[in-house]
Amino acid sequence: MVNLTINGIPVQVPEGTTVLQAARHASIRIPTLCYLENVQAIGACRVCMVEIEGARTLVPSCVAPVAEGMKVRTNTERVRNARRTVMELLMSDHAGDCKTCERNDDCEFQALARDLGIRQVSWEGAKSPARLDASTPALVRDTGKCVLCRRCVTVCHGVQDVGALFPQARGFQTVVGPAFGRDLATVTCVQCGQCASVCPVGAISERDDTDKVWAALEDPTKFVVVQTAPAIRAALGEEFGFEPGTLVTGKMTAALRRLGFDAVFDTNFTADLTILEEGTELLHRLKAALAGNGTGTPADGEGHGEPAHGPGPLPLATSCCPAWIKNCEHFHPDFLPHLSTCKSPQQMFGAAAKTYYSRRIAKHPSDVFVVSVMPCTAKKFEAARPEMEASWQRDVDVVLTTRELARMIQAAGIDFVNLPDEAMDQPMGMSTGAADIFANTGGVMEAALRTAYEIVTGRPLPFDGLRVAPIESLEGIKEAALTFRGVLPEWNFLEGVTARVAVAHGLANANRLVDRIRKGEASYHFIEVMSCPGGCIGGGGQPRPTTDAVRKARIEAIYREDQSKAMRKSHENPQVRAAYEAFFQAPNSELSHRFLHTRYFGRDRV
């Protein structure tokens, strides 16, 4: 332990602690801007400066390690002047159109200016080069608002391993963006939106698609259907002042109805559908591998996911996450055969809504308008993929993020906090607890195991409360093993087989997992990948900020939702069964392949 004083207060903290952490320990707030807990401490912005006795200059507390006997002062004239000057300099090079900025009132930069008591910006002058990059369907970059804190760079490189954003040029000309000043759409950006999630200002945000939704809602010829991803209900409340981890499923449903949606449905419904499709695919692949019909090694070639070529190799990898898919297309084209051919729940929903459901309500698919509410920016990209036209048109018309939905609710004058709880519409509002946990890292895997084990053995998953504890944590890569015993006769090739599964969240972890598999250092039957840390609950479209504490709260809320459900296994969902009977025939059937499965394409890295 190290003893120091901060503002005269004795503090004892473990060695290696930073002055910033020590100050927080002593209930002393030090303002920060570029610092991002557990992600980035680079001492770049110079806002967290403190005075340390004996030091020639002020010291950035976020990177300064404590030392025995250190005397720190955080609130002297010199410190206040330095912080204010730095902040005013930053403000002098900032677009400053706060009143119309999407981050108005939700801006760390604004809050910092307020906290530092800045009433005027003493420095004025030229602004560094500003550029609006709206090249992708998911994200909009406005470098004029960028404060060069580099959180996005660190997240894109360190957490996501994508490396689409860099500091470019030097000095006052420095901008953060894709290499060679290119547009985001032309580089390997997977559009996960983690950059937007950590951006303290409005420099990177989701593309705002609310106008398209308002227009559809106004259009009397459109039957507007909305689906909400499982992660929304555990986070939307934060936008209205609820504590992180507050479940607002009922209020959300009520709000959507008040916004004018004709049917309020649940992506959970197709999550259950996904489990049936993907579980079946897994069993097929297992059978092919274990019964000698397959090699279990990656297959060669392009155009993967063709059912005609038979089951793909092991391990099977989940395909719910569009950023993970794009990541594989750019960086692991050899791994594409491992990806499940199942569409994501969002796209299964779109396809189902404009085929199965539109037929059921006797509407032409072109009169049905499908809106998704997703925790994710990459879902906007996914919905725009050319393959996603199972209904001969866009299956999903508009994707909104959680934040956009909140803005619509606010704009519509809906008193969200005091809304009554309402239930979703049927048939596609019906879901099981297994669908809920799709929001969490490990959730898809757990949901799949719940169903697969029961299909194979006829018995429920032998874990406490159906929870596969080892894969539920915030560890980067998690593993579990499950031995099939007493299998039903048709599955006897699985008798005694120990299924090895792995779960990764954050693309850096995912890439590491893929590398291990590729090098033969690890071998699995099934892996789950979610691009965002914590899974979809930590998605790039979720309310800000998303810290580890917030992630944990949302994850717990999702599990509460799961455990509150009467049905907690996807195959139990009666509406899913009904849909098969009425339309999709059976999991992995020809029709389900036609509507619910897709294929992947290798993409260039430059």
Partner 1 sequence: MTTRKRIESVEELVAFRDAARGSASTAGASPDRRQVLVCTGGGCIASGSLEVAASFRRALAARGLEGGVQLLETGCLGPCARGPVVVVYPDGTFYQQVKPSDVDEIVDSHLVRGAIVSRLVNRHSATGELVPQIRDLEFFRKQVKIVLRNCGVIDPLKIEDYVARDGYAALAKALTRMTPEQVVEEVKASGLRGRGGGGFPTGLKWAFARKTPGEVKYVLCNADEGDPGAFMDRSVLEGDPHSVIEAMAIAGYAIGAHQGFVYVRAEYPLAIERLGIAIAQARECGFLGQNILGTGFDFDLEIRKGSGAFVCGEETALMTSIEGNRGEPRPRPPFPAVKGLWGRPSLLNNVETYANIAPILLNGAAWYASYGTERSKGTKVFALAGAVRNTGLVEIPIGMPLGELIYEVGGGIPGNKTFKAAQMGGPSGGCIPVEHLGVPVDYESLIELGAIIGSGGLIVMDDDACMVDVARFFLEFCQDESCGKCAPCRIGTKRMLEILERICEGRGEEGDVERLIALGNTIKDTALCGLGQTAPNPVLSTIRYFRHEYDAHIRDKRCPAGACSALVRAPCQNACPAGVDVPGFVSLVAEGRYAEAMRWHRERNPFASICARVCFHPCESKCRRVTLDSPVAIRGVKRFMVDRDVAMELPEVRPDPANAARQVAIVGAGPAGLSAAYFLARLGYRPTVYEAEEKAGGMLVQTIPAYRLPRDRLAQEIALIESMGVTIRTGMRLGRDFTLKTLRDAGCQAVFLGIGAQKGSRLGVPHDDAPGVTEALSFLRSANLSEGFAAGRNVVVVGGGNAAIDAARTALRRGAERVTIVYRRRRSEMPAWEEEIDEALHEGVVLETLAAPVEVQVADGRVTGLVCQRMELGSYDRSGRRRPVPIKGEIFTIPADQVIAAIGQSVDAAGLFGDLPVELDRDGRVQADPRTGRTSVEWIYAGGDATLGPSSVVEAIAAGERAAAAIDEALTGADHAFWRRNVPVDTAFDPDADPSPLPRAPAWLRPVEERKGSFAEVELGWSEEVARGEARRCLRCDWRETCNQEVQRW
| Strand 368-374 versus strand 398-401 pairing type | parallel
Q: Which of 46, 326, 450, 467 binds partner 1 (CB under 8 A)?
A: 46
Q: Say how many residues touch partner 1, by CB under 8 A.
A: 38
Q: Which of 13, 50, 90, 428 binds partner 1 (CB under 8 A)?
A: 90
Distance CA 269, CA 347 (A): 12
Task: Report, in Å, the least distance between residue 600 CB and partner 1.
Answer: 32
Environment class of residue 360 by beta-carbon count within 10 Å: exposed (0-12), middle (13-18) or buried (19+)? Answer: middle
Taking a C-beta distance cutoff of 8 angstroms, is the pair 412, 550 a contact? Answer: no
Q: Which positions from 416 through 435 interact with partner 1, judged by CB under 8 A?
A: none
User: How far is CA 137 from each of CA 131, 383, 436, 500, rounded to the nearest angstrom?
Assistant: 17, 9, 27, 37
Q: Which of 197, 205, 340, 570 is catalytic?
A: 340
Q: Which stretch binds partner 1 (CB under 8 A): 79-87, 283-291, 416-424, 436-444?
A: 79-87
What are the phi and psi torsion angles at 434 (to 5°)? -60, -35
Return the number of the residue (168 or 210) whose C-beta is nearest partner 1. 168
384 binds partner 1 (CB under 8 A): no
Alpha helices in 93-160 (DSSP H): 108-115, 151-154
148 binds partner 1 (CB under 8 A): yes
Tokens of 598: 């897709």
Q: Which of 93, 108, 561, 562 binds partner 1 (CB under 8 A)?
A: 93
Return the number of the residue (73 or 222) whose C-beta is nearest partner 1. 73
Q: What's the number of CA atoms in the CB half-sphere (13 Å) around residue 230?
A: 34
204 binds partner 1 (CB under 8 A): no
Q: Which stretch binds partner 1 (CB under 8 A): 38-46, 254-262, 381-389, 425-433?
A: 38-46
Return the number of the residue (42 or 578) whose C-beta is nearest partner 1. 42
Task: Report, in Å, the least distance between residue 132 CB and partner 1.
Answer: 20
Q: Is 34 a catalytic residue?
A: no
Q: Which of 145, 326, 379, 569 is catalytic?
A: 379
User: Which one-letter DSSP state was computed for residue 494?
Assistant: G
75 binds partner 1 (CB under 8 A): no
Task: Report, in Å, the least distance between residue 259 CB and partner 1.
Answer: 42
523 binds partner 1 (CB under 8 A): no
69 binds partner 1 (CB under 8 A): no
**Residue type, position 488, single letter:** L
- Contact residues for 104 (Cβ-Cβ < 8 A; gap 6+): 98, 110
- Contact residues for 208 (Cβ-Cβ < 8 A; gap 6+): 102, 140, 404, 407
13 binds partner 1 (CB under 8 A): no
Distance CA 349, CA 103 (A): 31
User: Which one-letter DSSP state was computed for residue 255?
Assistant: H
Task: Report, in Å, the least distance between residue 17 CB and partner 1.
Answer: 14
- Contact residues for 312 (Cβ-Cβ < 8 A; gap 6+): 285, 299, 304, 305, 337, 338, 339, 341
Q: Which of 51, 108, 277, 278 is catalytic?
A: 278
Q: Is 528 a catalytic residue?
A: no
43 binds partner 1 (CB under 8 A): yes
Q: Which of 75, 92, 210, 575 binds partner 1 (CB under 8 A)?
A: 92
Q: Which of 51, 108, 281, 454 is catalytic?
A: 281
Q: Which positions from 454 through 493 interact with partner 1, judged by CB under 8 A?
A: none
Return the number of the residue (147 or 550) whose C-beta is nearest partner 1. 147
Task: Report, in Å, the least distance between residue 159 CB and partner 1.
Answer: 17
Q: Is 281 a catalytic residue?
A: yes
User: Which one-letter DSSP state was computed for residue 263?
Assistant: E
What angle is formed at CA 100 by the lines to CA 98 and CA 106, rounded to 5 degrees? Answer: 60
Taking a C-beta distance cutoff of 8 angstroms, is the pair 317, 486 a contact? Answer: no
Distance CA 426, CA 259 (A): 18
Return the number of the residue (155 or 388) whose C-beta is nearest partner 1. 155
Return the number of the residue (6 or 58) whose C-beta is nearest partner 1. 58
Q: Which of 11, 58, 316, 323 binds partner 1 (CB under 8 A)?
A: 58
Taking a C-beta distance cutoff of 8 angstroms, is the pair 316, 294 a contact? Answer: no
508 binds partner 1 (CB under 8 A): no
Tokens of 424: 């979703």
Task: Report, in Å, the least distance between residue 117 CB and partner 1.
Answer: 17
Task: Report, in Å, the least distance between residue 110 CB and partner 1.
Answer: 16
Q: One symbol per residue from 163 to 192: x for binding partner 1 (CB under 8 A), - otherwise; what is it?
A: ---xx-xxxxxx------------------
Q: Which stretch binds partner 1 (CB under 8 A): 121-129, 320-328, 407-415, 550-558?
A: 121-129
- Contact residues for 220 (Cβ-Cβ < 8 A; gap 6+): none
Environment class of residue 349 by beta-carbon count within 10 Å: exposed (0-12), middle (13-18) or buried (19+)? Answer: buried
Distance CA 485, CA 499 (A): 11
392 binds partner 1 (CB under 8 A): no
Q: Is 372 a catalytic residue?
A: no
Q: Which stretch binds partner 1 (CB under 8 A): 83-91, 192-200, 311-319, 465-473?
A: 83-91
255 binds partner 1 (CB under 8 A): no
Q: Is 340 a catalytic residue?
A: yes
What are the phi and psi torsion angles at 497 (to 5°)? -75, 135
Return the number of the residue (25 or 80) whose C-beta is nearest partner 1. 80
71 binds partner 1 (CB under 8 A): no
Q: Is 287 a catalytic residue?
A: no
User: How far is CA 126 from each of CA 47, 72, 110, 130, 293, rounded to the nearest angstrom?
Assistant: 22, 36, 21, 11, 67
Q: Which of 1, 54, 126, 418 binds partner 1 (CB under 8 A)?
A: 126
89 binds partner 1 (CB under 8 A): yes
Return the number of the residue (17 or 542) whose C-beta is nearest partner 1. 17
120 binds partner 1 (CB under 8 A): no
User: How far is CA 12 from each of CA 7, 29, 65, 162, 377, rounded to the nearest angstrom?
Assistant: 14, 17, 13, 39, 43
Q: Is 379 a catalytic residue?
A: yes
Environment class of residue 153 by beta-carbon count within 10 Å: exposed (0-12), middle (13-18) or buried (19+)? Answer: buried
Question: Which residues are known to be catalytic?
Answer: 278, 281, 320, 340, 379, 382, 387, 536
Sites of contact with partner 1 (CB under 8 A) = 42-47, 49, 57-58, 60, 63-65, 78, 81-82, 85-86, 89-90, 92-93, 122-126, 147-148, 150, 166-167, 169-174
